[in-house]
Structures are given as structure tokens and as C-alpha cells.
């Protein structure tokens, strides 16, 4: 259980499907996620089961983002492709489901908790991510948290008949600690 100022990160349960699906299949959110196709109930159950299996094997950590006040599940975040030898991980997914909840500080709080977990609990040294160049909100958001742009892969993303570059960003443990310190537990 990892807690910030506004949210806590918790394991997913198969019962969470009904809270996730309506938002998951909303194009306003979906356009920013890697897979553009809508997801069904059974597919989401499988996703949660395999995410929890990977969690148990310490291969990837997927969390539900829950508000501290209403205890509502409002998003998902995960660290995937963890290399315990090179001490790095990819931020595979970050989503605050409901666009009404965007811009209220939930994403930042969830990311601070995730990065604190990565650097101060898991002992990783670097977290990196890929973000489509049209997702300027997310790019500004990650920059604000201290991520630095490292490059781009040309025309890797495709949305609504158009191709877009994908931007790669990363943050090192030393940079995170300098800017944010170790979060109080
Ligand atoms: C990207 C996302 C996770 C950000 O979370 P959020 O809760 O909306 O962001 P926050 O309210 O925590 O904002 C944190 C900072 O990001 C920046 N930011 C947020 N929205 C912004 C916008 N529309 N334009 C510019 N900067 C913005 C702000 O500078 C803010 O800093 P502040 O604390 O000084 O205000 C969220 O909007 C989301 O889930 N979007 C859809 C899915 C997505 O794009 N995921 C990322 C895929 S790689």
C-alpha cells in the first residue's frame, strides 16, 4: 500500500472491472493509450489477472489509483519491463480515467508515489517512458515532474489516419531525489 497526499496505489481486484471499463472505452481517454481498440469485460478480467501474476513474480507492478477521501478507483499506473540487473523500469501506463478528474493533481500525486516506490523501495536507478508527440498534456506533465526528453522515434504512433512521432523521456533516481526527496511514509 503506497500513499501520497491525494491518492494511494493498491493492487487491482477482478471486481474493479466495472469501475474501469466505462472509462477505458471512452475515446477521450483511449486515444492517449497504446491500444486504441475497445476492451470487453472478459478481456479486462484477463488483464487484471495477468497483471497480478506479473506482480507476484516481480516482473511488473500494476496499481489502481484510489482517492484517499472517496476511496474511488480513478486510474491505473504501472512499472513494466523491470531490469533488476540494470536497475531500470518502463512506465508502461499512467491513466486518470475520467477527463473530469484531469488537472486536479491526482496524476502528479500518483506519479510521485510511483517514482518514490521505484527509487526508494525497489532500488531502481532510472524510469523511462514513451509518449505520443500529440499528447502535449502528458509531455508537459512529465516535464513538470522532472522527466527529460531523450529523443523520438519517428512516425511510430498512428491516430485517426495520421502518423506521429513517439517521444522518449526518462528520469534518474538522483534527479528525482534532488527535486522531490524521499516521500514521507
Ligand atoms: C496525463 C495525466 C496522467 C496527467 O494527470 P493529471 O491529474 O491530469 O495532472 P495533474 O493535475 O496532476 O498536473 C500536474 C502537472 O502537470 C501539468 N499539466 C497538467 N495538465 C496540463 C495541461 N493540460 N497543459 C499543460 N500542463 C499540464 C501541470 O503543470 C501540473 O502542474 P501544477 O501542479 O503546477 O499544476 C492525465 O491527464 C491523464 O490520465 N491523461 C490521459 C491519459 C494519458 O495521456 N496518459 C499518459 C500516456 S503516456
pTM to 2 decimal places = 0.96
Q: Is 135 within 8 Å of 24 (Cβ atoms)?
A: no
User: How confident is the model over 96-124, as a mean pLDDT?
Assistant: 97
- pLDDT above 90 covers what percent of the chain? 92
Instruction: Find the helix packing angle between 106-116 and 136-145, rounded to 10°.
Output: 50
**pLDDT tens for each residue of 60-82:** 999 999 999 999 999 999 999 99
In terms of phi and psi (left: phi > 0; alpha: psi -120 to 50; beta: otherwise), the region of 12 is beta
What pLDDT was estimated at residue 38?
Answer: 80
What pLDDT was estimated at residue 184?
Answer: 85
Count of residues in the chain: 185
Nearest CA owner, ligand 1 atom 6: 107
Spatial separation of the C-alpha atoms in residues 155 and 165, rounded to whole Å: 4
Ligand 1, residue 132: give the atom nearest the CA: 48
Nearest CA owner, ligand 1 atom 5: 107
What pLDDT was estimated at residue 131?
Answer: 98
Spatial separation of the C-alpha atoms in residues 97 and 66, rounded to whole Å: 11
Q: How far is the CA of 57 from the centre of ligand 1 (A)?
A: 31
H or E segment at 67?
A: strand 61-67
Q: How far is the CA of 85 from the centre of ligand 1 (A)?
A: 31
What pLDDT was estimated at residue 21?
Answer: 94
Q: Is 81 within 8 Å of 90 (Cβ atoms)?
A: yes
Q: How far is the CA of 107 from the centre of ligand 1 (A)?
A: 6
Cβ–ligand 1 distance for 5 under 6 Å, the answer: no
CA distances from 80 to 41, 45, 145, 163 (A): 23, 19, 19, 25
Q: What residue segments make up the domains of the chain, in order of their start? A: 2-127
Burial class (CB in 10 A: 0-12, 13-18, 19+), 168: middle
More confident residue, 100 or 37: 100
Confidence of residue 19 (pLDDT cuts 50, 70, 90): very high
**Quick check: 95 pLDDT over 90?**
yes
**Quick check: 35 pLDDT over 80?**
no
Nearest CA owner, ligand 1 atom 22: 137
Nearest CA owner, ligand 1 atom 10: 105
Ligand 1, residue 33: give the atom nearest the CA: 47
Cβ–ligand 1 distance for 113 under 6 Å, the answer: no
Spatial separation of the C-alpha atoms in residues 183 and 185, rounded to whole Å: 6
What pLDDT was estimated at residue 68?
Answer: 98
CATH 3.40.630.30 fits 2-127, yes or no: yes
What pLDDT was estimated at residue 167?
Answer: 98
What are the beta bridge partners of residue 121? none
**pLDDT tens for each residue of 117-168:** 999 999 999 999 999 999 999 999 999 999 999 999 999 999 989 999 999 9
Burial class (CB in 10 A: 0-12, 13-18, 19+), 118: buried
Amino acid at each position: 500500500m503506497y500513499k501520497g497526499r491525494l491518492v494511494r496505489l493498491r493492487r487491482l481486484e477482478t471486481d474493479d472491472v466495472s469501475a474501469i471499463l466505462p472509462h477505458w472505452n471512452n475515446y477521450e481517454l483511449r486515444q492517449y493509450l497504446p491500444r486504441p481498440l475497445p476492451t470487453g469485460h472478459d478481456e479486462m478480467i484477463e488483464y487484471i489477472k495477468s497483471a497480478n501474476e506479473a506482480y507476484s513474480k516481480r516482473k511488473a507492478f500494476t496499481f489502481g489509483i484510489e482517492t484517499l477521501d472517496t476511496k474511488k478507483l480513478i486510474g491505473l499506473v504501472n512499472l513494466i519491463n523491470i531490469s533488476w540487473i540494470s536497475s531500470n523500469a518502463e512506465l508502461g501506463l499512467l491513466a486518470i480515467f475520467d477527463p473530469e478528474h484531469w488537472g486536479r493533481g491526482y496524476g502528479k500525486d500518483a506519479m510521485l508515489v510511483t517514482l518514490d516506490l521505484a527509487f526508494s523501495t525497489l532500488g531502481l536507478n532510472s524510469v523511462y517512458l514513451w509518449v505520443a508527440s500529440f499528447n502535449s498534456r502528458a509531455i508537459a506533465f512529465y516535464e513538470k515532474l522532472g522527466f527529460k526528453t531523450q529523443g523520438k522515434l519517428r512516425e511510430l504512433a498512428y491516430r485517426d489516419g495520421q502518423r506521429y512521432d513517439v517521444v522518449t523521456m526518462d528520469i534518474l533516481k538522483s534527479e528525482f531525489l534532488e527535486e522531490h526527496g524521499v516521500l514521507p511514509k
